[in-house]
Amino acid sequence: MQAFAMGTLRIGAMLALALSASACGSPPPLDKQLEAVSSWTATMQLARDEHGSGAITTTYATQLRDAALAALEESKQTIGQAAHSKTDSSYAAAALDSLRTAIRALNAETGS
């Protein structure tokens, strides 16, 4: 049991180190960032539809918009570092543009 205890403790310590390391590593690869941006674009579109049908409140829609704006700002900082070619850069720019458009559409819907 003591050996089991020590072994488990060691693995636990390694896990704790890895968890800390994974929280402050380099920016994610381009495909992951594009996925995240496109996910937020879809979230904005869904929020606009749901707000239009009265399913969600303006307070909640505004919070979703703020979260999307934060994601947009973060992506603007990091997506350039992950884009290694002109094609990559144009994909990234298009994705960010789509998100901006979706945020504007939600703003128009909520009147903010």
Q: Which stretch binds another protein (CB under 8 A): 13-21, 81-89, 90-98, 99-107?
A: 13-21
Q: How far is CA 88 from CA 13, 31, 42, 58, 101, in A?
A: 39, 9, 21, 36, 20
How many residues bind another protein (CB under 8 A)? The answer is 32
Question: If binding is defined by CB under 8 A, does position 59 make contact with another protein?
Answer: yes
Looking at 29, 67, 90, 93, which residue binds another protein (CB under 8 A)? 67
Cβ-contact 77, 104 below 8 angstroms: no
Cα 78 to Cα 1: distance, rounded to the nearest angstrom: 47
Cβ-contact 103, 44 below 8 angstroms: yes
As measured in angstroms, the least distance from the Cβ of 104 to another protein is 19
Nearer to another protein, 19 or 87 (CB): 19
Nearer to another protein, 35 or 97 (CB): 35
- Give the pair of three-digit tokens for residue 69: 């704006």
Q: Which helix (H) or strand (E) holds 107?
A: helix 86-110
Name the site residues for another protein (rule: CB under 8 A): 1-2, 4-5, 8-9, 11-12, 14-16, 18-19, 21-23, 35-36, 38-40, 42-43, 45-46, 59-60, 62-64, 67, 71
